[in-house]
Structure 1
């Protein structure tokens, strides 16, 4: 993480070795062109989710969430009138929910990813 954020210039430095972090997924799920991987590092109290968009076998987008619970909903097929405020809230069914956020032992914010 330090290398990716620029806090460390070398992956072999002592600081990077002490702060090493391995992304080992506890679960991997695919929903259409989206691949969701989630895992937890209990030692650091870090819970993570990766959402990869794949097209023609190539990862075209990566979204990364730390210490955040994620719910994925499908909006496909909804018309503008179905989601207009005057019509009230339209129910968007959940197609996937993260399950490991309770492992970090603290409350985490929740997000909705609409696909």
Structure 2
């Protein structure tokens, strides 16, 4: 899938350079670039309580915002809302405009 998304040929190797790793409950986020910083990526892993990765999502050249859905309220009327907990830290925002995506956990 990565070759399809990045346009790399089967003969080309692709090196991931992680920039950060964050965990929110059962979700682990790893973001980084290629060595030339021309491709930006985020991997989102869902990890079970016994440490097994049960789901992997890959985002290439996409700005990602992670929000936590909170439906607790202090009044009798529930008002669900999203609390942002993480946002992509793009390596060079002035050079490239990327589509945005919100991941709710």
Which range, TM-score by smaller chain? 0.7 to 0.9
Number of residues paired by the alignment? 99
Match of 2:68 in 1: 74
Larger radius of gyration: 1
Q: Is 1:97 aligned to residue 65 of structure 2?
A: no
Match of 1:107 in 2: 97
Aligned-pair CA distance for 1:43: 2.5
Question: Gaps (5+ residues) in structure 1?
Answer: 6-14, 84-89
Higher share of residues assigned strand: 2
Aligned structure 1 segments of 4 or more residues deviating by more than 6 angstroms: none
Higher share of residues assigned helix: 1
Normalising by the residue count of structure 1, what TM-score does the alignment of the two structures yield? 0.71
Normalising by the residue count of structure 2, what TM-score does the alignment of the two structures yield? 0.77
Instruction: Return closer, same or farther for 1:104/1:21 CA change in 2, 3 Å cut-off.
Output: farther
Kept in 2, the 8 Å contact 1:40–1:104? The answer is no
